[in-house]
Structure 1
Amino acid sequence: MTRTLTLLLALTLGSAATAEQVTVFAAASLKTALDEIATAYEAASGDTVVLSYAGSSALARQIQQGAPAQVFVSANTAWMDVLQEDGLIAEDTRADLLANRLALVAHGPSAPVEITPDLDLVGMLGEGRLAMALVDAVPAGLYGKQALTTLDLWESVSGNVAQTDNVRAALALVSLGEAPFGVTYRTDALADPGVSIAGLFPEDSHDPITYPMAARTGQEALAQPFLTYLSSPEAAETFETHGFAVLGD
Structure 2
Amino acid sequence: MLRIFGLLTIICTMLATVAPGRADAPVTIFAAASLRGALDAALEGAGADVRVSYGGSGTMARQIAQGAPADVVILANVAWMDWLQEQDLVDAGSRRDLLGNRLVLVGPKGAAPLDRVDAAALTGRLAGGRLAVGHTEAVPAGIYAREWMQAAGLWQALRPQLAESENVRAALALVSRGEAPLGVVYASDAQADPGVVVLAEIDARLHAPIVYPAALIAGRDGEAARGVLSHLQRDAARQAFERHGFVVLGDDR
TM-score with structure 1 length normalisation? 0.88
Contact persistence 1:96–1:210 (CA under 8 A): yes
Contact persistence 1:115–1:202 (CA under 8 A): no
Query: Cα–Cα, structure 1 residues 115 and 58, in superposed 2: closer, same or farther, change >3 Å?
Result: farther
Deviation of 1:117 (Å): 4.5
Which residue matches 1:34? 39
Please give the per-residue CA displacement for 1:29-63, whole angstroms capped at 9, x wherever unaligned.
Answer: 0001011222432xxx1x21110000100000000
Between the aligned partners of 1:32 and 1:186, the Cα distance in structure 2 is 14
Which residue matches 1:236? 238
Between the aligned partners of 2:144 and 2:174, the Cα distance in structure 1 is 19
Deviation of 1:115 (Å): 6.2
Counting matched residue pairs gives 230
- 3-state SS, counterpart of residue 120 of structure 1: helix
Contact persistence 1:24–1:51 (CA under 8 A): yes
Correspondence 1:190-201 to 2 at 5 A: 190-201=191-202
Correspondence 1:193-212 to 2 at 5 A: 193-212=194-213
Correspondence 1:25-174 to 2 at 5 A: 25-41=30-46, 45=47, 47-113=48-114, 116-117=117-118, 120-174=121-175
Amino acid at match of 1:33: A
Which residue matches 1:12? none
Between the aligned partners of 2:79 and 2:192, the Cα distance in structure 1 is 25
Between the aligned partners of 1:78 and 1:85, the Cα distance in structure 2 is 10
Between the aligned partners of 1:212 and 1:119, the Cα distance in structure 2 is 36
Amino acid at match of 2:72: V
Which residue matches 1:178? 179
Segments of 5+ residues of structure 1 without an aligned counterpart are 1-15
Contact persistence 1:116–1:151 (CA under 8 A): no
Query: Cα–Cα, structure 1 residues 115 and 219, in superposed 2: closer, same or farther, change >3 Å?
Result: farther
Query: Cα–Cα, structure 1 residues 117 and 128, in superposed 2: closer, same or farther, change >3 Å?
Result: closer
Amino acid at match of 2:90: I
Percent pairwise identity: 47
Amino acid at match of 1:124: R
Deviation of 1:124 (Å): 1.1
Which residue matches 2:227? 225
Amino acid at match of 1:233: D
Between the aligned partners of 1:59 and 1:188, the Cα distance in structure 2 is 19
Segments of 5+ residues of structure 2 without an aligned counterpart are 1-19
Between the aligned partners of 1:92 and 1:219, the Cα distance in structure 2 is 13
Residue 27 of structure 2 corresponds to residue 22 of structure 1? yes
Between the aligned partners of 1:207 and 1:240, the Cα distance in structure 2 is 21
Amino acid at match of 2:67: G
TM-score with structure 2 length normalisation? 0.87
Q: 1:246 aligns with which of 233, 245, 248?
A: 248
Deviation of 1:114 (Å): 6.6
Between the aligned partners of 1:116 and 1:183, the Cα distance in structure 2 is 12
